[in-house]
């Protein structure tokens, strides 16, 4: 110690401010590179330096400081000592703060896989993983089906007719079955189409742009239901019995999960099965007595085979020692004695088949259990694993179709419809809504593509699927609402030519089913995401559950180092700028990628602070968990936008929409993080964290008017191809079709006549033409007058007349006699 003291006395004195700056920067630099041990060493150096700078030259002080550093090094650096003095105590404390996790919740948390969501949660995403990831394109067979049978089906669909029939027409049902639309996910060896997730999504998106009733009818058998469950878990006998018939529509499936007292809380349903002896086909066998009351079951009224979830009991121990076996899944033919089926619900007037299922002590054999007796009690795990992928395909794809339809229709209407002497697309209020629809359409399509790409790559990304379901259905709600506002009276009056009223009515259905969005946002995305995606939290929880101090010690100090590194990363990126983030040269939009990296680090720090300080109580603080979910979701959506732009080679025509979409995503993510910090209970700690992650305040602002204007200009300029690109996945009907088809014809005619229209406007401006008196055919009279005065040619007059006639047709709305109106549905 004397030697150390002599050395210290001989060193030149360093001013206190220099030390205060230098030592933390050393710690930050070392932590940045992930050297957790050296971060602790630099912290000790900071302590020594602080004493020195304070003028502590007393040998006793130095001995005490050195001894303290030595003790700290042993306590923190020797795992055996650390476990006894720190980790065992910390584990007991953590066990008290964590909520009790039951089996059903544990199964839900463990379902699926962690993918890009884990990278975002880490605070230091591996960008090569995202940009080198190849989204599987549609193969030739899938392309042919999309452009052939799917387009043909879309041409057959008349949503107004379907609404009046309260069902799909018989010819449509037959076509859907014959072309195997109900067997897209069933492998070819079992008689299905064996399509990829991307192909499945593309088909649903196209159909949804024509009829949500048809889209839901096709979607449900290919989502969570008997087909998916049989493929994954069915016995060979069950697969042979059902899969081919399900693919061809000979068997129509439904799945009964939701109950009057168990909606989002599906694991606590009251449907039960009791193992017992009973008569079956003249013999006494061991079977199950089922009592159930299900509702909201899509396709139930017409289903020929019914999937059922129930809690199985074995009071007589006919199957084994356990009395309560757990949630079990079974398949019942429609003609099963005691099964009550056929009634219909009326969800928002959208006439897809949906209704209740009931049964009282319905006796069925054990081989009705999906997967056989070996899968008794495994039903919740089976459902969660199936839902982990399916939830990211069906409703997100339907939502993309709705958003693209809203953009296609409202952008055409903005050009065709005139008020106050000019197209409504020139009014800034309308343009603001158009920009929002376009930005959402791009973001939603990118997110659906990335999510389906993950599924096709063998992932089952449960958290990502929940994000896609919740935020894309919300995106459809916003896009269709905005479209309704733009099309105004033409949108609210239903009839054969109406485009958006039926999708508008259906919006709450997508919001509600497959996990209501309120629940998904406030409980699932961050609640499940924090456990699954955090690099250490799940290991900590598992160690506490097992009472394993050694495993907890490893996870805890890994967690501490993880937090320190992310704090250093967030602070450095916040102070010095995101340019420090390494991104490969081949990656497009590198500047935006670096900004997203900083947001990821910010989120990781703020997430850890909430998890550490609030523990299990965070689960009940849904305001906070909802904001965490918003931040996490918008980080994922921003990733999807950047991935889409990169894969498309960042075309200059798309610059405005990419800029709009990524700016909005960044603003939403940062605003959510800011909202978390503003509402953490410990505001003193929140203030300190804010200084780390937002040293100069918020960086991302709301969208600027100029960004909106550039985007709308690109959409309404047909030469850019942006409108076509953003709506490429929907079906465009024949020009004679009274809704979108005729609107598209009017739009094309108005564009064709724009040159001639400008000539007339210029002539009126300089006094060569006078505006005729108000009359129904005033525009046609003006065109004739312009021709007589040589302002336009005969060909141009023909274009002008055609544009006016088509415009006059599409701005009309349906009118019905009193008798007809009474019969409308």
The residues that are catalytic are: 514
Cα–Cα dist 756/796, whole Å: 6
273-276 long-range contacts, Cβ below 8 Å, gap at least 24?
Answer: 273/310, 273/311, 273/312, 273/313, 273/328, 273/330, 274/312, 274/313, 274/314, 274/315, 275/312, 275/313, 275/314, 275/315, 275/316, 275/318, 275/319, 275/325, 275/366, 276/316, 276/318
- Strand pairing of 305-313 and 253-256? parallel
Three-state SS for 698? Answer: coil
Residue 766: count other Cβ atoms within 10 Å of its Cβ: 7
Q: What is the DSSP string of 136-161?
A: PPP-HHHHHHIIIIIHHHHHH--HHH
- Is the backbone of residue 642 left (phi > 0), alpha (psi -120 to 50) or beta? alpha
Please compute, for residue 810, the number of CA atoms within 13 A of its CA located in the half-sphere on the CB side: 31
Cα–Cα dist 505/514, whole Å: 18
User: CB neighbours of 209 closer than 8 A, spacing ≥ 6?
Assistant: 154, 401, 402, 404, 405, 729, 730, 731
Vertex 52 angle, CA 46 and 53, to 5°: 85
Cα-Cα end-to-end distance for the chain:
92
Tokens coding 678: 């503003």
Q: What is the residue whose two structure tokens read 């299905």? A: 192
- The answer to whether 330 touches 370, Cβ cutoff 8 Å, is yes
User: 666 — phi, psi (to 5°)?
Assistant: -60, -45
User: CB neighbours of 582 closer than 8 A, spacing ≥ 6?
Assistant: none
Tokens coding 650: 């960042």
Buried b / exposed e across 354-379, counting CB within 10 Å, b at 16+? bbbbbbeebbbebebbbbbeebbbbb
509-512 long-range contacts, Cβ below 8 Å, gap at least 24?
Answer: 509/216, 509/347, 509/348, 509/350, 510/395, 510/398, 510/399, 510/473, 510/476, 511/473, 511/474, 511/477
- The answer to whether 675 touches 156, Cβ cutoff 8 Å, is no
Cα–Cα dist 596/577, whole Å: 12
Tokens coding 65: 């400081």
Burial of 173 by CB count in 10 Å (0-12 exposed, 13-18 middle, 19+ buried)? middle
CA quadruple 394, 395, 399, 401: dihedral, nearest 10: 20
Where helices occur in 54-132 by DSSP H, the ranges are 59-77, 79-82, 88-97, 103-110, 116-122, 127-131
- The answer to whether 672 touches 628, Cβ cutoff 8 Å, is yes
- Strand pairing of 305-313 and 324-333? antiparallel
Vertex 192 angle, CA 187 and 193, to 5°: 85
């Amino acid at each position: 110690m004397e030697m150390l003291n002599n050395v210290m006395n001989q060193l030149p004195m360093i001013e206190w401010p220099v030390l205060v700056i230098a030592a933390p920067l050393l710690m930050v630099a070392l932590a940045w590179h992930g050297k957790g041990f050296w971060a602790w060493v630099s912290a000790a150096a900071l302590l020594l330096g602080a004493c020195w700078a304070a003028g502590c030259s007393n040998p006793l002080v130095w001995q005490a400081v050195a001894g303290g550093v030595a003790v700290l090094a042993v306590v923190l650096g020797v795992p055996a000592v650390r476990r006894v003095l720190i980790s065992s105590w910390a584990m007991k404390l953590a066990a008290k703060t964590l909520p009790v996790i039951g089996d059903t919740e544990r199964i839900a948390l463990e379902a699926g896989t962690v993918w890009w969501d884990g990278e975002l949660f880490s605070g230091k995403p591996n960008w090569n993983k995202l940009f080198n990831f190849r989204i599987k394109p549609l193969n030739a067979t899938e392309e042919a089906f999309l452009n052939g049978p799917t387009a043909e089906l879309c041409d057959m669909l008349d949503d107004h007719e379907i609404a009046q029939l309260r069902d799909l027409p018989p010819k449509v049902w037959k076509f859907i079955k014959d072309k195997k639309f109900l067997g897209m996910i069933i492998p070819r060896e079992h008689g299905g189409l064996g399509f990829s997730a991307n192909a499945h999504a593309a088909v649903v998106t196209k159909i949804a742009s024509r009829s949500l009733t048809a889209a839901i009818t096709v979607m449900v058998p290919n989502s969570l239901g008997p087909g998916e469950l049989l493929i994954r878990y069915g016995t060979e006998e069950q697969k042979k019995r059902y899969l081919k018939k399900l693919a061809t529509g000979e068997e129509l499936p439904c799945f009964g999960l939701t109950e009057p007292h168990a909606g989002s809380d599906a694991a606590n349903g009251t449907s039960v099965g009791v193992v017992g002896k009973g008569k079956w086909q003249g013999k006494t066998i061991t079977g199950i007595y089922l009592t159930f009351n299900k509702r909201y079951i899509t396709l139930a009224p017409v289903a020929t085979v019914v999937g059922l979830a129930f809690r199985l009991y074995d009071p007589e121990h006919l199957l084994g020692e356990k009395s309560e076996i757990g949630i079990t899944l079974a398949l019942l033919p429609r003609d099963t004695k005691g099964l009550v089926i056929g009634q219909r619900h009326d969800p928002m007037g959208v006439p897809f088949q949906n209704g209740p299922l009931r049964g009282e002590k319905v006796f069925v054999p054990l081989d009705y259990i999906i997967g056989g007796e070996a899968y008794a009690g495994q039903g919740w795990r089976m459902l969660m694993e199936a839902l982990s992928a399916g939830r990211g395909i069906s409703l997100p794809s339907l939502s993309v179709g709705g958003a693209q339809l809203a953009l296609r229709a409202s952008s055409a209407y903005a050009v065709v419809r005139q008020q106050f002497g000019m197209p409504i697309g020139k009014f800034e209020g309308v343009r603001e809504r158009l920009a929002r629809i376009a930005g959402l359409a791009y973001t939603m399509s990118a997110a659906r593509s990335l999510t389906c790409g993950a599924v096709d790559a063998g992932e089952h990304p449960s958290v990502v699927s929940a994000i896609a379901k919740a935020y894309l259905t919300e995106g459809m709600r916003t896009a269709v609402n905005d479209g309704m506002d733009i099309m105004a009276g033409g949108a609210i009056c239903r009839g054969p030519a109406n485009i958006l009223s039926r999708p508008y009515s259906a919006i709450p259905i997508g919001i509600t089913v497959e996990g209501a969005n309120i629940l998904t946002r406030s409980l699932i995305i961050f609640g499940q995401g924090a456990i699954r995606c955090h690099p250490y939290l799940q290991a900590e929880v598992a160690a506490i559950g097992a009472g394993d101090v050694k495993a907890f010690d490893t996870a805890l100090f890994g967690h501490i180092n993880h937090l320190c590194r992310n704090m250093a990363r967030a602070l450095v990126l916040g102070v010095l700028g995101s340019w420090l983030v390494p991104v490969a040269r081949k990656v497009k939009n590198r500047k935006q990628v670096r900004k997203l990296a900083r947001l990821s680090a910010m989120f990781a720090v703020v997430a850890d602070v909430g998890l550490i300080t609030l523990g299990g109580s965070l689960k009940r603080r849904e305001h906070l968990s909802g904001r965490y979910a918003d931040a996490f979701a918008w980080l994922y959506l921003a990733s999807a936008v950047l991935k889409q732009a990169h894969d498309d080679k960042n075309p200059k025509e798309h610059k405005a929409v990419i800029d709009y979409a990524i700016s909005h995503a960044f603003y939403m993510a940062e605003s959510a993080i800011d909202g978390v910090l503003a509402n953490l209970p410990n505001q003193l700690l929140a203030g300190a964290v804010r200084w780390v992650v937002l040293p100069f305040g918020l960086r991302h602002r709301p969208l600027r008017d100029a960004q909106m204007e550039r985007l709308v200009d690109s959409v309404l300029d047909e030469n850019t191809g942006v409108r076509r690109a953003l709506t490429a996945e929907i079906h465009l009907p024949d020009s004679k079709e009274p809704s979108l088809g005729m609107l598209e014809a009017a739009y094309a005619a108005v564009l064709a006549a724009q040159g001639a229209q400008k000539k007339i406007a210029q002539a009126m401006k300089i006094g060569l033409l006078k505006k005729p008196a108000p009359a129904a055919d005033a525009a046609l009279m003006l065109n004739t007058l312009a021709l007589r005065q040589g302002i336009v040619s005969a060909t141009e007059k023909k274009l002008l007349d055609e544009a006016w006639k088509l415009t006059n047709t599409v701005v009309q709305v349906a009118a019905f006699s009193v008798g007809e109106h009474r019969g409308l549905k």
